[in-house]
Protein backbone atom coordinates (compact mmCIF):
# COMPACT_ATOMS: atom_id res chain seq x y z
CA UNK A 1 0.00 0.00 0.00
CA UNK A 2 1.16 3.53 -0.83
CA UNK A 3 0.33 6.13 1.81
CA UNK A 4 0.45 9.92 1.86
CA UNK A 5 0.83 11.84 5.10
CA UNK A 6 -0.36 15.42 4.50
CA UNK A 7 0.17 18.70 6.37
CA UNK A 8 2.50 17.38 9.05
CA UNK A 9 5.18 19.14 11.05
CA UNK A 10 8.05 16.77 10.28
CA UNK A 11 11.05 16.11 12.52
CA UNK A 12 14.14 15.98 10.30
CA UNK A 13 17.88 15.69 10.80
CA UNK A 14 19.98 18.05 8.66
CA UNK A 15 23.75 18.27 9.07
CA UNK A 16 23.45 16.37 12.33
CA UNK A 17 20.92 18.80 13.84
CA UNK A 18 17.25 18.12 14.52
CA UNK A 19 14.66 20.54 13.22
CA UNK A 20 11.02 20.57 12.14
CA UNK A 21 9.47 21.65 8.85
CA UNK A 22 5.95 21.69 7.45
CA UNK A 23 5.86 18.92 4.86
CA UNK A 24 4.08 15.92 3.42
CA UNK A 25 5.52 12.39 3.48
CA UNK A 26 4.97 9.86 0.71
CA UNK A 27 5.31 6.16 1.53
CA UNK A 28 5.76 3.75 -1.36
CA UNK A 29 5.53 0.18 -0.18
CA UNK A 30 7.59 0.04 3.00
CA UNK A 31 9.86 3.03 2.31
CA UNK A 32 9.75 6.81 2.43
CA UNK A 33 9.77 7.96 -1.20
CA UNK A 34 9.28 11.75 -0.83
CA UNK A 35 9.32 14.47 1.81
CA UNK A 36 8.05 17.90 0.82
CA UNK A 37 5.02 19.31 -0.92
CA UNK A 38 3.22 16.37 -2.52
CA UNK A 39 -0.03 16.41 -4.44
CA UNK A 40 -2.64 13.74 -3.86
CA UNK A 41 -3.10 11.31 -6.72
CA UNK A 42 -4.38 7.83 -7.45
CA UNK A 43 -1.03 6.29 -6.51
CA UNK A 44 -1.93 6.70 -2.84
CA UNK A 45 -4.39 4.16 -1.51
CA UNK A 46 -4.43 5.90 1.88
CA UNK A 47 -4.18 9.59 2.79
CA UNK A 48 -3.64 10.69 6.40
CA UNK A 49 -4.35 14.33 7.26
CA UNK A 50 -1.68 15.16 9.85
CA UNK A 51 -2.71 18.77 10.47
CA UNK A 52 -1.74 19.73 14.04
CA UNK A 53 0.44 16.63 14.25
CA UNK A 54 4.17 16.09 14.46
CA UNK A 55 5.70 13.29 12.40
CA UNK A 56 8.87 11.75 13.80
CA UNK A 57 10.82 8.50 13.49
CA UNK A 58 9.41 5.53 15.33
CA UNK A 59 10.89 5.24 18.81
CA UNK A 60 13.26 2.37 19.57
CA UNK A 61 13.21 0.77 23.02
CA UNK A 62 16.78 -0.49 23.13
CA UNK A 63 16.52 -2.59 26.30
CA UNK A 64 13.57 -4.39 27.78
CA UNK A 65 12.34 -7.74 29.03
CA UNK A 66 8.93 -7.58 27.44
CA UNK A 67 7.08 -10.47 29.07
CA UNK A 68 8.08 -9.23 32.53
CA UNK A 69 4.96 -7.14 32.12
CA UNK A 70 3.33 -10.11 33.89
CA UNK A 71 5.27 -9.10 37.00
CA UNK A 72 4.24 -5.44 36.86
CA UNK A 73 3.67 -4.05 40.39
CA UNK A 74 4.54 -7.44 41.87
CA UNK A 75 7.78 -6.81 43.74
CA UNK A 76 8.51 -3.16 44.43
CA UNK A 77 10.59 -1.10 46.84
CA UNK A 78 13.41 -3.64 47.00
CA UNK A 79 17.18 -3.53 46.27
CA UNK A 80 18.13 -5.09 42.93
CA UNK A 81 19.78 -8.27 44.19
CA UNK A 82 17.06 -9.01 46.76
CA UNK A 83 14.47 -8.23 44.10
CA UNK A 84 16.11 -10.68 41.69
CA UNK A 85 16.98 -13.52 44.03
CA UNK A 86 13.98 -13.48 46.37
CA UNK A 87 11.13 -12.45 44.06
CA UNK A 88 11.88 -12.49 40.33
CA UNK A 89 14.07 -15.54 39.72
CA UNK A 90 11.87 -17.93 41.77
CA UNK A 91 8.81 -16.95 39.69
CA UNK A 92 10.71 -17.03 36.40
CA UNK A 93 11.42 -20.71 37.04
CA UNK A 94 7.68 -21.28 36.45
CA UNK A 95 7.41 -19.42 33.15
CA UNK A 96 5.94 -21.25 30.16
CA UNK A 97 5.75 -20.41 26.45
CA UNK A 98 2.04 -19.63 26.82
CA UNK A 99 2.70 -17.14 29.62
CA UNK A 100 5.48 -15.45 27.63
CA UNK A 101 3.23 -15.09 24.59
CA UNK A 102 0.41 -13.49 26.62
CA UNK A 103 2.82 -11.07 28.25
CA UNK A 104 4.45 -10.23 24.91
CA UNK A 105 1.16 -9.45 23.17
CA UNK A 106 0.14 -7.00 25.89
CA UNK A 107 3.66 -5.55 26.08
CA UNK A 108 3.65 -4.89 22.35
CA UNK A 109 0.26 -3.21 22.61
CA UNK A 110 1.67 -0.89 25.28
CA UNK A 111 4.75 -0.19 23.16
CA UNK A 112 2.75 0.65 20.03
CA UNK A 113 0.34 2.91 21.92
CA UNK A 114 3.30 4.96 23.14
CA UNK A 115 5.05 5.24 19.78
CA UNK A 116 7.57 2.40 19.86
CA UNK A 117 8.12 0.69 16.51
CA UNK A 118 10.98 -1.63 17.48
CA UNK A 119 12.44 -3.07 20.66
CA UNK A 120 15.46 -5.05 21.86
CA UNK A 121 14.39 -7.86 24.17
CA UNK A 122 16.24 -10.30 26.42
CA UNK A 123 14.20 -13.01 28.11
CA UNK A 124 13.07 -16.63 28.02
CA UNK A 125 11.04 -18.49 25.37
CA UNK A 126 12.11 -15.86 22.87
CA UNK A 127 10.26 -17.64 20.08
CA UNK A 128 6.94 -16.60 21.66
CA UNK A 129 7.94 -12.94 21.73
CA UNK A 130 9.04 -13.20 18.10
CA UNK A 131 5.68 -14.78 17.23
CA UNK A 132 3.83 -11.92 18.96
CA UNK A 133 5.92 -9.33 17.10
CA UNK A 134 5.37 -10.97 13.73
CA UNK A 135 1.61 -11.08 14.35
CA UNK A 136 1.39 -7.43 15.43
CA UNK A 137 3.76 -5.86 12.91
CA UNK A 138 6.49 -4.36 15.12
CA UNK A 139 10.22 -4.89 14.78
CA UNK A 140 11.86 -7.21 17.28
CA UNK A 141 15.55 -7.45 18.06
CA UNK A 142 15.92 -10.28 20.50
CA UNK A 143 18.27 -12.38 22.56
CA UNK A 144 17.51 -15.49 24.54
CA UNK A 145 18.76 -14.68 28.04
CA UNK A 146 21.84 -16.79 28.79
CA UNK A 147 23.31 -17.78 32.14
CA UNK A 148 25.93 -20.38 32.96
CA UNK A 149 25.33 -23.92 31.75
CA UNK A 150 27.13 -27.05 32.98
CA UNK A 151 30.37 -28.01 31.25
CA UNK A 152 29.50 -29.93 28.11
CA UNK A 153 25.91 -28.66 28.01
CA UNK A 154 24.97 -25.94 25.53
CA UNK A 155 21.17 -26.13 25.60
CA UNK A 156 20.56 -22.38 25.67
CA UNK A 157 23.38 -21.63 23.24
CA UNK A 158 21.81 -24.11 20.84
CA UNK A 159 18.46 -22.39 21.34
CA UNK A 160 20.07 -19.13 20.21
CA UNK A 161 21.47 -20.95 17.18
CA UNK A 162 18.02 -22.36 16.37
CA UNK A 163 16.36 -18.95 16.71
CA UNK A 164 18.91 -17.53 14.30
CA UNK A 165 18.37 -20.30 11.77
CA UNK A 166 14.58 -20.06 11.91
CA UNK A 167 13.86 -16.39 12.42
CA UNK A 168 16.75 -14.05 11.69
CA UNK A 169 15.64 -11.66 8.97
CA UNK A 170 12.04 -12.98 8.98
CA UNK A 171 9.74 -10.46 7.23
CA UNK A 172 12.60 -7.95 7.49
CA UNK A 173 11.54 -7.33 11.10
CA UNK A 174 13.46 -9.89 13.20
CA UNK A 175 17.11 -9.76 14.22
CA UNK A 176 18.72 -12.23 16.63
CA UNK A 177 21.37 -11.35 19.21
CA UNK A 178 23.37 -13.41 21.68
CA UNK A 179 22.27 -12.50 25.20
CA UNK A 180 24.61 -13.32 28.10
CA UNK A 181 22.81 -11.90 31.12
CA UNK A 182 25.73 -10.36 32.99
CA UNK A 183 29.27 -11.14 34.19
CA UNK A 184 27.93 -12.12 37.62
CA UNK A 185 25.70 -14.84 36.11
CA UNK A 186 28.07 -15.95 33.34
CA UNK A 187 31.52 -17.37 34.07
CA UNK A 188 34.49 -16.45 31.86
CA UNK A 189 34.32 -19.95 30.37
CA UNK A 190 30.69 -19.46 29.43
CA UNK A 191 31.18 -15.92 28.14
CA UNK A 192 33.87 -17.23 25.79
CA UNK A 193 31.34 -19.81 24.52
CA UNK A 194 28.88 -16.99 23.86
CA UNK A 195 31.54 -15.00 22.00
CA UNK A 196 32.34 -18.04 19.86
CA UNK A 197 28.65 -18.45 19.03
CA UNK A 198 28.30 -14.77 18.12
CA UNK A 199 31.33 -15.07 15.85
CA UNK A 200 29.98 -18.23 14.25
CA UNK A 201 26.58 -16.65 13.49
CA UNK A 202 27.98 -13.15 12.85
CA UNK A 203 25.55 -11.58 15.31
CA UNK A 204 25.76 -8.90 17.98
CA UNK A 205 25.78 -9.32 21.76
CA UNK A 206 23.39 -7.82 24.29
CA UNK A 207 24.48 -7.83 27.97
CA UNK A 208 23.88 -6.08 31.30
CA UNK A 209 27.00 -4.27 32.53
CA UNK A 210 27.87 -2.25 35.64
CA UNK A 211 24.30 -1.74 36.76
CA UNK A 212 25.03 -1.48 40.50
CA UNK A 213 27.91 -0.56 42.75
CA UNK A 214 27.64 -4.03 44.33
CA UNK A 215 28.14 -5.68 40.92
CA UNK A 216 31.23 -3.56 40.22
CA UNK A 217 32.76 -4.08 43.67
CA UNK A 218 32.27 -7.86 43.56
CA UNK A 219 33.74 -8.07 40.05
CA UNK A 220 36.83 -6.13 41.16
CA UNK A 221 37.15 -8.37 44.22
CA UNK A 222 36.81 -11.56 42.16
CA UNK A 223 38.63 -10.67 38.94
CA UNK A 224 40.65 -7.58 39.84
CA UNK A 225 38.88 -5.39 37.29
CA UNK A 226 35.57 -3.70 36.54
CA UNK A 227 32.85 -5.57 34.61
CA UNK A 228 33.61 -3.46 31.50
CA UNK A 229 37.34 -4.27 31.62
CA UNK A 230 36.58 -7.90 32.52
CA UNK A 231 34.44 -8.63 29.45
CA UNK A 232 36.71 -6.49 27.26
CA UNK A 233 39.69 -8.64 28.21
CA UNK A 234 37.65 -11.75 27.41
CA UNK A 235 37.12 -10.45 23.88
CA UNK A 236 33.40 -9.73 24.15
CA UNK A 237 33.68 -6.33 22.50
CA UNK A 238 35.21 -7.88 19.38
CA UNK A 239 31.56 -8.43 18.48
CA UNK A 240 29.11 -5.49 18.06
CA UNK A 241 27.86 -5.07 21.62
CA UNK A 242 24.92 -3.36 23.29
CA UNK A 243 25.51 -2.87 27.01
CA UNK A 244 22.46 -2.19 29.16
CA UNK A 245 22.65 0.21 32.12
CA UNK A 246 26.36 1.20 32.36
CA UNK A 247 25.69 3.11 35.57
CA UNK A 248 28.94 2.75 37.51
CA UNK A 249 31.78 3.54 35.13
CA UNK A 250 35.24 4.97 35.62
CA UNK A 251 37.11 6.94 32.96
CA UNK A 252 38.86 3.81 31.67
CA UNK A 253 35.50 2.06 31.27
CA UNK A 254 34.14 4.95 29.21
CA UNK A 255 37.26 5.00 27.05
CA UNK A 256 36.93 1.25 26.43
CA UNK A 257 33.27 1.63 25.42
CA UNK A 258 34.09 4.48 23.04
CA UNK A 259 37.11 2.83 21.43
CA UNK A 260 35.32 -0.52 21.13
CA UNK A 261 32.24 1.15 19.62
CA UNK A 262 30.00 -0.40 22.27
CA UNK A 263 26.52 1.12 22.52
CA UNK A 264 25.28 1.83 26.03
CA UNK A 265 21.56 1.79 26.84
CA UNK A 266 20.34 4.22 29.48
CA UNK A 267 17.38 3.05 31.59
CA UNK A 268 16.59 6.01 33.86
CA UNK A 269 13.31 4.83 35.44
CA UNK A 270 14.63 1.40 36.36
CA UNK A 271 17.92 2.79 37.67
CA UNK A 272 16.03 5.30 39.82
CA UNK A 273 13.45 2.82 41.13
CA UNK A 274 16.04 0.18 42.05
CA UNK A 275 18.37 2.86 43.46
CA UNK A 276 21.13 1.69 41.12
CA UNK A 277 22.45 5.20 40.59
CA UNK A 278 22.92 7.71 37.79
CA UNK A 279 24.61 6.65 34.59
CA UNK A 280 27.31 9.12 33.42
CA UNK A 281 25.39 9.84 30.21
CA UNK A 282 26.94 13.24 29.56
CA UNK A 283 30.47 11.85 29.97
CA UNK A 284 29.68 8.96 27.64
CA UNK A 285 28.22 11.23 24.97
CA UNK A 286 31.19 13.62 25.14
CA UNK A 287 33.57 10.65 24.84
CA UNK A 288 31.82 9.50 21.67
CA UNK A 289 29.89 6.56 23.12
CA UNK A 290 26.64 5.86 21.30
CA UNK A 291 23.97 6.04 24.03
CA UNK A 292 20.50 4.65 23.34
CA UNK A 293 17.44 4.57 25.58
CA UNK A 294 15.34 1.78 27.07
CA UNK A 295 12.69 1.05 29.66
CA UNK A 296 14.06 -2.17 31.13
CA UNK A 297 11.24 -4.54 32.14
CA UNK A 298 7.85 -3.46 33.45
CA UNK A 299 8.63 -5.16 36.75
CA UNK A 300 11.30 -2.57 37.52
CA UNK A 301 9.89 0.47 35.76
CA UNK A 302 6.76 -0.18 35.92
CA UNK A 303 5.64 0.77 32.42
CA UNK A 304 7.02 0.76 28.87
CA UNK A 305 6.51 4.46 28.16
CA UNK A 306 9.52 5.78 26.27
CA UNK A 307 8.31 9.38 26.46
CA UNK A 308 8.68 9.10 30.23
CA UNK A 309 12.21 7.78 29.72
CA UNK A 310 13.04 10.70 27.45
CA UNK A 311 11.78 13.15 30.03
CA UNK A 312 13.77 11.58 32.85
CA UNK A 313 16.89 11.05 30.74
CA UNK A 314 17.27 14.78 30.40
CA UNK A 315 16.09 16.26 33.68
CA UNK A 316 17.92 13.92 36.07
CA UNK A 317 21.31 14.63 34.53
CA UNK A 318 20.78 18.36 34.75
CA UNK A 319 20.36 17.95 38.50
CA UNK A 320 23.13 15.36 38.96
CA UNK A 321 25.61 17.49 37.03
CA UNK A 322 24.38 20.83 38.43
CA UNK A 323 24.17 22.01 34.84
CA UNK A 324 20.92 23.11 33.18
CA UNK A 325 22.47 22.49 29.76
CA UNK A 326 23.44 18.87 30.49
CA UNK A 327 21.92 16.25 28.13
CA UNK A 328 19.65 18.60 26.15
CA UNK A 329 16.36 17.62 24.54
CA UNK A 330 17.92 17.14 21.11
CA UNK A 331 20.42 14.59 22.44
CA UNK A 332 17.68 12.66 24.24
CA UNK A 333 15.46 12.47 21.14
CA UNK A 334 18.45 11.09 19.22
CA UNK A 335 18.97 8.52 21.99
CA UNK A 336 15.40 7.32 21.48
CA UNK A 337 15.61 7.21 17.68
CA UNK A 338 18.78 7.27 15.57
CA UNK A 339 21.10 6.20 18.41
CA UNK A 340 18.89 3.18 19.07
CA UNK A 341 18.99 2.31 15.37
CA UNK A 342 22.78 2.72 15.38
CA UNK A 343 23.09 0.41 18.40
CA UNK A 344 21.10 -2.24 16.55
CA UNK A 345 23.12 -1.83 13.38
CA UNK A 346 20.15 -0.59 11.33
CA UNK A 347 20.75 3.18 11.19
CA UNK A 348 21.15 2.97 7.42
CA UNK A 349 17.44 2.13 7.16
CA UNK A 350 15.80 3.33 10.39
CA UNK A 351 16.02 6.00 13.09
CA UNK A 352 15.39 9.13 11.02
CA UNK A 353 12.89 10.34 8.43
CA UNK A 354 14.80 10.32 5.13
CA UNK A 355 13.94 9.40 1.57
CA UNK A 356 14.94 5.78 0.99
CA UNK A 357 14.67 4.74 4.62
CA UNK A 358 11.98 2.38 5.82
CA UNK A 359 8.68 3.95 6.77
CA UNK A 360 8.67 3.62 10.56
CA UNK A 361 6.80 6.81 11.47
CA UNK A 362 4.72 8.02 14.38
CA UNK A 363 2.34 10.97 14.52
CA UNK A 364 1.96 12.95 17.73
CA UNK A 365 -1.27 14.87 18.30
CA UNK A 366 -0.20 18.42 19.11
CA UNK A 367 -3.73 19.59 19.84
CA UNK A 368 -3.39 18.98 23.58
CA UNK A 369 -3.41 21.56 26.38
CA UNK A 370 0.03 20.47 27.62
CA UNK A 371 1.53 20.94 24.13
CA UNK A 372 0.17 24.46 23.49
CA UNK A 373 1.84 26.79 22.66
CA UNK A 374 4.41 24.93 20.58
CA UNK A 375 7.26 27.35 21.03
CA UNK A 376 9.95 24.69 20.63
CA UNK A 377 8.98 21.32 19.11
CA UNK A 378 12.09 19.53 20.42
CA UNK A 379 11.37 20.70 23.94
CA UNK A 380 7.75 19.65 23.52
CA UNK A 381 8.77 16.10 22.56
CA UNK A 382 11.21 15.69 25.42
CA UNK A 383 9.63 17.67 28.26
CA UNK A 384 5.88 17.88 27.57
CA UNK A 385 4.68 15.04 25.34
CA UNK A 386 3.16 11.89 26.80
CA UNK A 387 2.97 8.40 25.34
CA UNK A 388 -0.80 8.86 25.15
CA UNK A 389 -0.29 11.74 22.69
CA UNK A 390 0.72 9.27 19.97
CA UNK A 391 -2.06 9.25 17.36
CA UNK A 392 -0.72 7.03 14.59
CA UNK A 393 2.01 4.38 14.36
CA UNK A 394 3.36 3.09 11.04
CA UNK A 395 5.91 0.28 10.73
CA UNK A 396 7.34 -0.85 7.41
CA UNK A 397 4.68 1.25 5.69
CA UNK A 398 1.83 -0.51 7.51
CA UNK A 399 -0.49 1.32 9.90
CA UNK A 400 -0.44 -0.44 13.28
CA UNK A 401 -2.43 2.21 15.13
CA UNK A 402 -4.55 5.15 14.01
CA UNK A 403 -6.44 7.58 16.20
CA UNK A 404 -5.29 5.58 19.26
CA UNK A 405 -6.92 2.40 17.88
CA UNK A 406 -4.74 -0.69 17.46
CA UNK A 407 -5.15 -2.28 14.04
CA UNK A 408 -3.19 -5.51 14.46
CA UNK A 409 -4.23 -6.75 17.90
CA UNK A 410 -7.25 -6.84 20.20
CA UNK A 411 -6.37 -4.58 23.12
CA UNK A 412 -9.11 -5.81 25.45
CA UNK A 413 -8.31 -9.45 24.74
CA UNK A 414 -4.60 -8.80 25.31
CA UNK A 415 -5.27 -7.21 28.70
CA UNK A 416 -7.58 -10.04 29.79
CA UNK A 417 -5.21 -12.81 28.75
CA UNK A 418 -2.19 -11.14 30.34
CA UNK A 419 -4.10 -10.60 33.59
CA UNK A 420 -5.04 -14.30 33.61
CA UNK A 421 -1.45 -15.29 32.85
CA UNK A 422 -0.17 -13.11 35.69
CA UNK A 423 -2.71 -14.65 38.06
CA UNK A 424 -1.44 -18.12 37.21
CA UNK A 425 2.17 -17.07 37.63
CA UNK A 426 1.96 -14.92 40.73
CA UNK A 427 -1.02 -16.63 42.31
CA UNK A 428 -2.87 -13.37 42.95
Contact 149, 156 (CB under 8 A): yes
Across the range 256-267, mean pLDDT stands at 98
Whether the pLDDT of residue 187 is over 60: the answer is yes
In whole angstroms, how large is the CA radius of gyration of the chain? 21
Across the range 223-232, mean pLDDT stands at 98
Q: For 15-72, what is each residue's pLDDT tens digit?
A: 899 999 999 999 999 999 999 999 988 899 999 999 999 999 999 999 999 999 999 9
Q: For 349-360, what is each residue's pLDDT tens digit?
A: 999 999 999 999
Amino acid 391: pLDDT: 98
Across the range 245-257, mean pLDDT stands at 98
Question: Phi and psi (nearest 5°) for 65?
Answer: -130, 85
Across the range 305-322, mean pLDDT stands at 97
pTM assigned to the model: 0.97
Residues 6+ apart with CB under 8 A from 404: 113, 388, 390, 391
Amino acid 334: pLDDT: 98
Quickly list DSSP for 293-342.
E----TTSSS---HHHHHHHHHHHHHHHTT-TTSS-HHHHHHHHTHHHHH
Amino acid 35: pLDDT: 98
Domains and CATH numbers, the chain: 3-57+359-406 (2.30.40.10), 59-343 (3.20.20.140)
DSSP 3-state of 368: coil
Amino acid 83: pLDDT: 87
Q: For 364-401, what is each residue's pLDDT tens digit?
A: 999 999 999 999 999 999 999 999 999 999 999 999 99
Amino acid 153: pLDDT: 84
Amino acid 427: pLDDT: 78
Amino acid 407: pLDDT: 97
Amino acid 150: pLDDT: 85
- CA 347 to CA 413: how far, in whole Å? 34
Amino acid 5: pLDDT: 98
Percentage of residues of the chain with pLDDT beyond 90: 93
Total number of residues shown for the chain: 428
Amino acid 194: pLDDT: 98
Amino acid sequence: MNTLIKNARVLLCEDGRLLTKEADIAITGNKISQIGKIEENLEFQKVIDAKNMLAMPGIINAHTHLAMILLRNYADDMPLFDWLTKKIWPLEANLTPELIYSGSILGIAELIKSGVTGFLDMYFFAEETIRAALETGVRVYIARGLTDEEEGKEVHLNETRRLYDEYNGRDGRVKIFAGPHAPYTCSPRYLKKVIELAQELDIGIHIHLSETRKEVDECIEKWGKTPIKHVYDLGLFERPTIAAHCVHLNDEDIQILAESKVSAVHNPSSNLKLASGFAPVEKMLKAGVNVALGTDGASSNNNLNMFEEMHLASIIHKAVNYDAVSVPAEDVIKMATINGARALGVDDELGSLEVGKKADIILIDLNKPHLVPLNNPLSAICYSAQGSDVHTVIVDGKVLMENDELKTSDEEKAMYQAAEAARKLVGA
